[in-house]
Structure 1
Amino acid sequence: MIKKITKTILAVAISVPLFAASTQAQIDNRVVPENRSQVQLSYAPLVNNTAPAVVNIYTKSVKRQRRSALFDDPIFKRFFGNNNSFGVPQERVQRSLGSGVIVRANGVIVTNHHVIKGADEITVVLNDRREFDAKLVLEDPRTDLAILQINAGSEELQSLELQDSDEVQVGDIVLAIGNPFGIGQTVTGGIVSATARTQQGINDLGFFIQTDAAVNPGNSGGALVGLDGKLMGINTAILSRTGASNGIGFAVPANMVNTVIRAALNEGQLARPWLGVQGKTLTNNLAAALGLDRPGGILVDDIYPGSPASKTDIQAGDVILAFDEKEVLDKGALDFRVATKKDGDISKLVIWREGRITYADVQLSMPPEDPPMNMQELDGRHPFQGATVLNLSPKTNEELQIDLFKRGVMVGKVRKNTPATYYGLLRAGDVIQTINGQQIDFVKNLLTALENPPREFVYDIVRRGNFLRCEVRVTTNNRLSGRGCYQR
């Protein structure tokens, strides 16, 4: 009986019959060539319409090399003299190349973040060899995307319209256009190999279109286009042991690209809504235990208080199977679906609970800054001297690109040449849990604990997932002694 029920889950939950009916006409139009003349058709008209919108990007950054400690060594000075010209820091120019796509006729360009990261100068070269200086409008490391702007005056540049990447199907013919190895604009062809690749370690919101079209270094930021001439995705990475094309390339889907463009042009800053659930991807064993005959979905472990999910019927132990009629196979897929939505959008979740299907409508919102950040730099006779601390919240965590569920007081940075840096008592990213038995939930608790600092400190911190206890004594001459930090 369970097997019979679970076989109908996606059909009921994701409305497959309705989806199939709406796309049947598109499927019917995709046919195998029937004669030689059809096989010999050329992609040249498609390339002529799309290639002018793909640009080459060249960047330059100046790195200042550090002076070697060798030049301050007394023995070196004895033989070569105290000549300050030795070891003067040198400036080294780094250059890189990539590709980009014009998405607005007024010169708005989308590329990969890693193409322009740290660049002091960005030059865009059009298909007709004209060069323009580009301004960085917005960068988003989480999706590895960046938005540039060039000024071509009153001229309307050739641009590409974005496709609804949810309509992309495995087997669709695609062209990859970019500047591989800096040899100049190049077009390669292939098919869509997969449409929802996650967990590739490429970026935080990894959800990619996979293609076997040849993609090589320099293609990053270039266009993946379909036969309709629309932008299907931005080529981002390849899977290769040699660094050259191995027939496995990944592109950021156009729907995610659109959210970054929208933020750059309309909203001025990038802010993504959130759902407020934490969970794990369903394995075979978990699926069997919950009455499902196959893995796939998100088993909800925790729900953040006050989040959109907390205002619905979602419960810990539920399995989220679909989001807005799109199947959710793992946490990466769910994060992608939520990230492409806007503040206030209402989405439908399909949930498996206690052997049956149920539904939940959730109104998405932005992660709140609750509590306020309250950033403070600490000073005084204690081990926290020189540390800058702040309250964690979903909004702050989003900006810091850390787990949105993480709470407490975090060390943002530690000033150099302080006792804490010498002995490793505090590091950036540490979360302070207790001081001398007092729970530290907010910065104000920490300030209270340090108002009349004692001579001896025993405090607990979390560092990179490890729980540490630190035992420190402040001596009469304000030096630190004691056992230091050790793993509990």
Structure 2
Amino acid sequence: MRRPALYSSSRPTRSGPDAPDSSAAAGADPAAESAPALTSTTTAPRRRLSLSHPALLWSAIALLAALLAASLTLGLRPMQRKLTQDDINAAVMKTLETQVMPSEYARAYDNIRPAVVRVVSFVKKSRLKDAKDNGHGAPNGAKPKPLGSAPGAEGNGSDEEVEHGVGTGVVIIDKGVILTNLHVVSGADRIEVVFSDGLQAEASISGVQPENDLAVLQASKIPDDLIAATMRSTADLGPGDRVLAVGFPFGIGPSASGGIVSGLKRAFRSPEGKHEMTNLIQFDAAANPGNSGGPLVTMDGEVVGIVTAILNPTPARTFLGIGFAVPIENAAAAAGLPPF
């Protein structure tokens, strides 16, 4: 009896020219024909992808490496959203709401304060007595003023000297060169300056410009870290620009007062009528006796003028809203500095 064909699950049935004739197989037992068909259906071979193949293994490694690099890149460098104007406005408003910002006047004062000095002049009592006996009044108009005690007066012969006046000066060169008004130091026997750090030093007059009521002082000693003021041209200064006047009104200070430039190229004649000053800056920042010689500064703390006079038709010598300053170009020329 003929044995039926055997089928192996590990070897597929061959096809092609060498395969057994199907007609011959058909002539065999019909039961034998149906049996192999059932077997091939239930035990057909399954092809499995094996990572032992080098190409597949390296492909998998490359894919995993690419995925890992992408995840790290996204994690370390997140997508940045482009800033818009609304974002900037919101940040600015948040800062303004949560932080107190200094005013422009405060910043201007901080910038100019290290360069502002108190100027005190003294005359001897004997000169006052001689002038009074001769009926001429105080020498060069000097007379005691009720502005408080001058610093160091008790230890510098207060029985022989009286206070001539208190004014203000501003350091324009860090070697101790100071600008002030001529009427503050005119006729004085001794001049004393007090720097912002409290250092007291005697000073001498090194130059004058009577037509602009200006005097240049040289201090005998200066602080180690003396800072000079920054001077700015008045070429672009105009009415409405904000300014700050710093000085020692009635000996109190340093004091600051804010205002605006009221006009340019003004003229002013002193109450004594001796001479007329021209090309002055008119301003409305409060100024009183003692402010004379002090700086008039912009909101950047840069000096544009030297306070020199106030307009008051009454004998009160108090501020009514009109002050005058010599432009810094004229003041710098008095110290021999080149123009802007």
Range into which the TM-score falls when normalised by the shorter chain: 0.5 to 0.7
Counterpart among 181, 186, 189 of residue 255 in structure 2: 186
**What's the offset of the Cα at 1:166?**
2.3
Q: What residue in structure 2 maps to residue 57 of structure 1?
A: 119
**Deviation for aligned residue 1:64:** 4.5
Within 2, Cα distance between the matches of 1:125 and 1:119?
A: 16
Q: CA deviation at 1:92?
A: 7.1
Show the counterpart of 1:226. 298
Aligned-partner Cα distance in 2 for 1:259–1:145: 10
Amino acid at match of 1:160: A
Distance in 1, Cα, partners of 2:170 & 2:336 = 15
Is 1:213 matched up with 2:285?
Answer: yes
Structure 1 residues 101 and 92, CA, compared in 2 at 3 Å: closer, same or farther? Answer: closer
The 3-state SS of whatever aligns with 2:235 is: helix
CA distance in 1, matches of 2:222, 2:190: 20
Q: Does the 8 A contact of 1:64 with 1:91 survive in 2? A: no
The answer to whether residue 323 in structure 2 is matched with residue 261 in structure 1 is no
Q: 1:158: how far off?
A: 1.4
The 3 A distance-change label for structure 1 pair 239 and 58 is same
In structure 1, what residue type is equivalent to 2:324? Answer: F
TM-score (norm 2): 0.57
Distance 1:199 1:245, change over 3 A: closer
Whether contact under 8 Å (2:199, 2:223) holds in the other structure is: no
Gaps in structure 2 of 5+ consecutive residues: 1-92, 135-158
**Does 2:326 correspond to 1:252?**
yes
Q: Does 1:144 align with 2:206?
A: no
Structure 1 distance, partners of 2:250, 2:282, is 21
- Asked whether the equivalents of residues 265 and 278 of structure 2 are also in contact (C-alpha less than 8 Å), the reply is no
Report SS of the residue matched to 1:48.
helix
The separation in 2 between residues aligned to 1:215 and 1:153, in whole angstroms, is 27
SS in 1 for 2:304: strand
In the TM superposition, what is the alpha-carbon distance from 1:161 to its structure 2 partner?
Answer: 1.7
Q: What corresponds to 1:126 in structure 2? A: 195
Q: Which structure's residues are more often helix, by fraction?
A: 2
Contact 1:106 1:156 in 2 (8 A): no
Sort the Cα spacing of 1:221 and 1:153 in 2 relative to 1 into closer, same or farther, 3 A.
Answer: closer
Higher share of residues assigned strand: 1
**Structure 1 residues 206 and 40: CA distance shift in structure 2, 3 A:** same
Letter in 2 for 1:49: N
Give the aligned residue type for 1:163: R
1:86-106 deviation line (CA, Å, top 9, x unaligned): xxxx97735211000000111
Whether contact under 8 Å (2:269, 2:277) holds in the other structure is: no
**Alpha-carbon deviations, 1:421-455, whole Å to 9, x = none?**
xxxxxxxxxxxxxxxxxxxxxxxxxxxxxxxxxxx
Name the residue aligned to 2:184. 115
Q: Give the Å deviation of 1:200.
A: 3.6
Distance 1:235 1:207 in 2: 13
In structure 1, the partner of 2:80 is none
Instruction: State the Cα deviation string for residues 163-192 of structure 1 (Å, max 9, x = none).
Output: 111221100000000000001210000000
Alpha-carbon offset, residue 127 of structure 1? 1.6
1:217-276 per-residue CA deviation (whole Å, 9 max, x = no partner) reads 10000010001221010000001222111111100001111111117xx9xxxxxxxxxx
Q: Distance in 1 between matches of 2:250 and 2:185?
A: 16
- Aligned position for 2:311: 239
Rg comparison, structure with higher value: 2
CA pair 262-64 structure 1, distance change in 2 beyond 3 A: same
Amino acid at match of 1:234: I
Q: How many residues matched?
A: 213
User: Which residue in the other structure is 2:53 paired with?
Assistant: none
Instruction: Give 1:151 deviation, angstroms.
Output: 3.5
Identify which range, 186-195 or 44-53, moves more after superposition.
44-53
Distance 1:176 1:262 in 2: 24
1:175 equivalent among 241, 244, 248: 244
Distance 2:292 2:163 in 1: 18
Tell me by how many angstroms 1:45 deviates.
Answer: 2.5
- Structure 1: unaligned runs, 5 residues or longer: 1-34, 70-89, 267-339, 342-488
Structure 1: how far apart are the matches of 2:209 and 2:242? 29
CA contact (8 A) 2:265 2:280 kept: yes
Q: What code does the residue aligned with 1:223 have?
A: P
Q: TM-score, normalising length from structure 1? A: 0.40
The AA in structure 2 aligned to 1:221 is G
Amino acid at match of 2:292: S
Offset, 1:204: 4.2
Change (3 A) 1:211 1:154: closer
In the alignment, which residue of structure 1 is the partner of 2:142? none
**Residue 46 of structure 1, CA deviation:** 2.2
Look up the equivalent residue of 2:213 and give its one-letter code.
D
Larger deviation, residues 145-154 vs 200-209: 200-209
Q: Secondary structure at the match of 1:206?
A: strand
CA RMSD of aligned residues (A): 3.0
Contact 1:65/1:91 (<8 A) preserved = no
Per the TM alignment, residue 115 of structure 1 is displaced from its structure 2 partner at its CA by 0.3
Percentage of matched positions with identical amino acids: 39
CA contact (8 A) 1:54 1:222 kept: yes
The separation in 2 between residues aligned to 1:250 and 1:114, in whole angstroms, is 15
